[in-house]
Amino acid sequence: MFKTAIEAKRALETKQVSAKEILDAYYKRIDEIEPDIQALNSLTKDLAYATAKTVDEKIARGEELPALAGVPLIIKDNICVKDTLTTASSKMLENFVSPYNATVTEKLNENLIPILGKANLDEFAMGSSTENSAFKVTRNPINLNKVPGGSSGGSAASVAGCEALLSLGSDTGGSIRLPGAFCGIIGMKPTYGRVSRYGLIAFASSLDQIGPFANCVEDTALLLEAISGYDTNDSTSINTPVPHYAKELNQDVKGMKIGVIKELLGEGVQEEVRENVEKAIQKYKDLGAEIIEVSLPHVKYAIATYYIVATAEASSNLARYDGVRYTYRAKDCENLIEMFTKSRSEAFGDEVKRRIMLGTYVLSSGYYDAYYKKAQQVRALIKQDYDNAFAKVDVLLSPTCPTTAFDINSKTADPLSMYLTDIATITANLAGVPALSLPYGVDKENMPVGVQLITNVLEEQKLLNFAYALEQAK
Ligand code: GLN
């Protein structure tokens, strides 16, 4: 087993191991650990071995390879991979075989990155613990009684459990960063529009963004570079060149300004989370960065704003699952309306239904102005908070989550307490800015603490550099 993608790539290039042998080793590991962690919905062995074969042939011919060629990756099961099941962990799509590749899947293929399998998630990416999957509850590889975080819990657990060296998740309100923090690995949400959403099953289209999980910053930078870029199939993707993030990595933060978000280090933060985040701040000081306290005054409205905007968009995006095409269809229905109703009632889980109902409510006539329109106005204020902060500092810092990973089943009965897990992560989605969670220290039970770094729009390089500085100084 390798610790990082770079290490695996080096072993490949120096012919210590073939791409096929790497896959054999990772599939063996999956066989061993999957019964414990339950991170995967399906395996895509044919696809992975076909890619590995191309890699080995190229090596035999002495051809140059893309940076991550042959490095095993797992992809979240809400991203389309042609001719394989793409379920979003919903009964609604249990038998859906994608007829096309998502743009990120195409990019993984171009980069000869073997896709080992599809990772479990909260149904349609709605949740913070991966307990909302219709199929299985993924467990945290560090402690099997704890959640891995969500909604990309399977993606995070698969990398933390050494089933793969890299994975992809999607982040609508923290779904990459939170499981990254809970599982002790790096999780990054790029700028909205940096990575194409084409072929990502939509949850809340103005917030969704695909991003990488990895064991180190350099691997993260390489994977981000591989999946980023303009795409004519996604009208919200940004048409600017993709930097060579890994080549440009630089750990010099001397004289740079770090804003510590006041509102996110106050009340309700677990003591050991605070302690470790403060240690990270001290480390940056030692490295010569200037620390400034910064206020994002509208953070207090973030949860309410997010759960209005996200549910409104979800209620509209999920209207397409009607039992007519490619979805679950209820049996023995007497008419079309009954077929719609029964199909949706039988195939959506409780959390998805809750969101559809909330979203339909906030968009309905008479409530639209009071809820949806208000939320959009507050969203603009949150973006303004970020603009004001970035006029003063290079990067913002906070805990990724106020607590470390919680016990399985401890929050499932109380949706509001589950929603509160997202307090530190959702504002970056509302503002569209990039953010990353880096593991830093552990609590008394040995569960990892995540430090969140946030930069301004399209400043991924700066974000990775800050993370790299802290990682290297550990
Ligand atoms: N936990 C948040 C939610 O349930 C975020 C999910 C996500 O980022 N996909 O909506």
Residue 233 contacts by C-beta under 8 Å, 6 or more apart in sequence?
Answer: 103, 196, 198
**What is the pLDDT at residue 28?**
98
> Tens digits of per-residue pLDDT, 364-389?
999 999 999 999 999 999 999 999 99
**What is the pLDDT at residue 417?**
86
Report how far ligand 1's centroid is from the alpha carbon of 189 (Å). Answer: 13
Category of 184 on φ-ψ map: left (φ > 0), alpha (ψ -120 to 50) or beta: left
pTM comes to: 0.98
Tell which one of 128, 152, 313, 416 to mutate to probe ligand 1, the residue whose CB is within 8 A of the most ligand atoms.
128
CA dihedral (317, 321, 325, 326) in degrees, to 10, reads 100
Q: What's the half-sphere exposure (Cβ side, CA atoms, 13 Å) at 169?
A: 42
Domain residue extents for the chain = 1-474
Is the Cβ atom of 155 under 6 angstroms away from ligand 1?
A: no
Helices 5-13, 45-60: axis angle to 10 degrees equals 50
> Can you read off the two tokens belonging to residue 391?
């006029």
Report, as residue numbers or ranges, the catalytic residues: 76, 151, 175
Is the Cβ atom of 171 under 6 angstroms away from ligand 1?
A: yes
Q: How far apart are CA 355 and CA 429, in angstroms?
A: 18
User: Looking at the predicted structure, is the pLDDT value of residue 172 above 90?
Assistant: yes
> Can you read off the two tokens belonging to residue 458?
């399209």
Is the Cβ atom of 175 under 6 angstroms away from ligand 1?
A: yes
Q: How far apart are CA 203 and CA 317, in angstroms?
A: 7
**What is the pLDDT at residue 111?**
98
Q: Is the dihedral of CA 126, 327, 37, 113 positive or negative?
A: negative
Residue 275 contacts by C-beta under 8 Å, 6 or more apart in sequence?
Answer: 441
Residue 328 contacts by C-beta under 8 Å, 6 or more apart in sequence?
Answer: 91, 92, 93, 94, 95, 321, 343, 346, 347
User: Looking at the predicted structure, is the pLDDT value of residue 440 above 90?
Assistant: yes
Is the Cβ atom of 313 under 6 angstroms away from ligand 1?
A: no
Is the Cβ atom of 106 under 6 angstroms away from ligand 1?
A: no
**What is the pLDDT at residue 416?**
86
Report how far ligand 1's centroid is from the alpha carbon of 6 (Å). Answer: 31
> Can you read off the two tokens belonging to residue 143?
């402690």
User: Looking at the predicted structure, is the pLDDT value of residue 1 above 90?
Assistant: no
Q: How far apart are CA 4 and CA 165, in angstroms?
A: 6
Ligand 1, closest atom to CA 422?
A: 1
> Tens digits of per-residue pLDDT, 317-350?
999 999 998 899 999 999 999 999 999 999 999 9
User: Looking at the predicted structure, is the pLDDT value of residue 204 above 90?
Assistant: yes
**What is the pLDDT at residue 107?**
98
Burial classification of residue 392, based on how many CB atoms lie within 10 Å of its CB (0-12 exposed, 13-18 middle, 19 or more buried): exposed
Report how far ligand 1's centroid is from the alpha carbon of 430 (Å). Answer: 12
DSSP H/E element including 387? helix 374-390
> Tens digits of per-residue pLDDT, 379-436?
999 999 999 999 999 999 999 999 999 999 999 999 888 888 999 999 999 999 999 9
**What is the pLDDT at residue 474?**
80
Could you tell me if 157 and 33 are in contact, meaning their C-beta atoms sit under 8 angstroms apart? no
Give the pLDDT mean for 193-203: 98
Is the Cβ atom of 128 under 6 angstroms away from ligand 1?
A: yes
Tell which one of 151, 308, 426 to mutate to probe ligand 1, the residue whose CB is within 8 A of the most ligand atoms.
151
User: Which residue in the block uniquely carries the two structure tokens 């199929």?
Assistant: 135
Report how far ligand 1's centroid is from the alpha carbon of 51 (Å). Answer: 32
Residue 326 contacts by C-beta under 8 Å, 6 or more apart in sequence?
Answer: 93, 96
Ligand 1, closest atom to CA 204?
A: 9
Ligand 1, closest atom to CA 306?
A: 10
> Can you read off the two tokens belonging to residue 323?
């039992």
> Tens digits of per-residue pLDDT, 79-129?
999 999 999 999 999 999 999 999 999 999 999 999 999 999 999 999 999
What single string gives the DSSP state of each residue in 333-350? Answer: -SSHHHHHHHHHHHHS-H
Give the pLDDT mean for 157-185: 98
Ligand 1, closest atom to CA 127?
A: 4
CATH class of 1-474: alpha beta
Report how far ligand 1's centroid is from the alpha carbon of 192 (Å). Answer: 15
Report how far ligand 1's centroid is from the alpha carbon of 87 (Å). Answer: 17
**What is the pLDDT at residue 278?**
98
Task: Give the mean pLDDT of the chain.
Answer: 97
Give the pLDDT mean for 170-199: 98
Using CA positions, which residue lies closest to atom 10 of ligand 1? 126
Q: How far apart are CA 258 and CA 391, in angstroms?
A: 12
Buried-exposed string 108-139: b where 16+ CB fall within 10 A, e elsewhere: bbebbbbbbbbbbbbbbbbbbbbbbbbbbbbb
